[in-house]
Structure 1
């Protein structure tokens, strides 16, 4: 069987106004996330798939988790559903390492859990 490679991008290639889909769990999200990202934990993903398709509205989804494993699985699922989705290489650790901005909901300093 021949599988197409999973589409992925470097954190630097994620546009500032791009749809970032964060599939980490609630405690990880609370510690720090991309401002404006859509948070749908992987554990809730299938049940909340409609929210993702509605938010994407035909746009590319940049899928992120902590290091890239969970987001790779979600990206593969989205691509199989016909969505334009890419995995963000290195996840939030790479995002933070590249100096990309992160926020918290309570105003405390953001970090990657």
Structure 2
């Protein structure tokens, strides 16, 4: 019978080998390596389609003098106040707005985003632990502007300014980069 020390080394080696050969190790091992359940993600195309579809429904309702349909999702910008005061993705609310009235969004899909997806991924994990259905917009606002999509201020005015958190990120020339 192998010694406990040898058995432990074999188990670690096997775990590392399995982890390094699997892109989705955290999903396969129930979050063993990532500290929790795998968080679903949404990409730029799918998010844009979702927002466009909702806007069309709202526009059609307004044209027919009908109440605007409520979306089955909420887009939450988890960046700092300084960042969201520069711009957000159209239709987004801030993390503080969401948290002040989270009961209003109960049962809806929460789509979280930030600058690149790290902070929103961590927030998505927090919400998942609370039983909230959530997706992380991986790539977040930087992927949004890479696709040339619009931004607005918190009061809904179009803007080309985007807070990138750091000057290490590059954005298309069509946008004005803000880091302060």
Larger Rg: 2
- Unaligned runs of 5+ residues in structure 2 are 1-28, 32-36, 55-72, 164-180
Q: Distance in 2 between matches of 1:100 and 1:20?
A: 15
Matched, 1:27 2:76: no
Give TM-score, length-normalised by structure 2: 0.53
Report how many aligned residue pairs link the two structures. Answer: 107
Q: How well do the aligned residues superpose, as a CA RMSD in angstroms?
A: 2.3
Offset, 1:108? 6.5
- Unaligned runs of 5+ residues in structure 1 are none
Structure with bigger RCO (C-alpha 8 Å, 6+ apart): 1
Aligned pairs for 1:1-113 within 5 A: 2-3=30-31, 4-14=37-47, 15-16=50-51, 17=54, 18-40=73-95, 49=99, 51=101, 53-105=102-154, 107=157, 109-113=159-163
Give TM-score, length-normalised by structure 1: 0.80
